[in-house]
Amino acid sequence: MSLKNIIDCICKEATNKDSKKLEELLEQLYDYESAKILDIYPYQIKSNEKYSQVEVFFDKLEMVDFQQKTQDYHSYQKSLEKFERFFELMWLKSSEFYAFYYLPDPLYKDQLYYKVYENEWGKIIPKDLTEGTFVNIDEYTMLNSLIKLAVSDHLHLHFILPEENIVFSGNGLAFLIYSQHNLELLEKVANTEGLYIR
């Protein structure tokens, strides 16, 4: 099946709300290497040494960073805000905006990633736990919670925009973009928010 057909099927199954078929199709996306990347850098940084000096992953932070608002905290927050704003604009533009995600197993409630975003975890954990969770996002707070958890690299997340025929997949400070359409408008929005599509 071509990438275009898979994206079409994913968007159709999202609209049909068939989470089982959706899960199978989303797994197939990773067989394709033609995805674009939504990133905080305009190019891939080849030097791991340089990258580790400027990149602030959530897991490098400690509770004191969040309590005292250290430089590393501000650096992480700036990157998080770029993704929040980008997806907010995508969400506002779309009449249908779906998320499919997998909760970590197990979810360590004593870890920093849980303590810092405890409210966010509370919003996204469904009452009946299943393999994957599928939701239509119609509340901004839900959207924001999902983005915070995905950008902190603790939630594997797919956003599905059926009208645009686009699927975003990510966890961490980059998202894969699966689309067969011209991404010119998307690129303008990303650049405005300090993100890059490459």
pLDDT at residue 105 in the model = 82
Positive or negative, the CA dihedral 41, 120, 93, 180 is positive
Per DSSP, 111 falls in state: S
Cα separations in angstroms, 15 against 12, 163, 167: 5, 10, 13
> Can you give the pLDDT at residue 69?
95
Query: What is the distance of C-alpha 195 from the center of its chain?
Result: 13
What residues contact 28, with CB distance under 8 A and at least 6 apart?
1, 6
pLDDT at 8: 95
Annotated domain spans of the chain = 3-197
Predicted confidence (pLDDT) per residue in 65-101, tens digit: 999 999 999 999 999 999 999 999 999 999 999 999 9
Q: Which of 16-25, 26-35, 63-72, 123-132 has the lowest mean pLDDT?
A: 123-132
pLDDT at position 130 is: 65
pLDDT of residue 54: 85
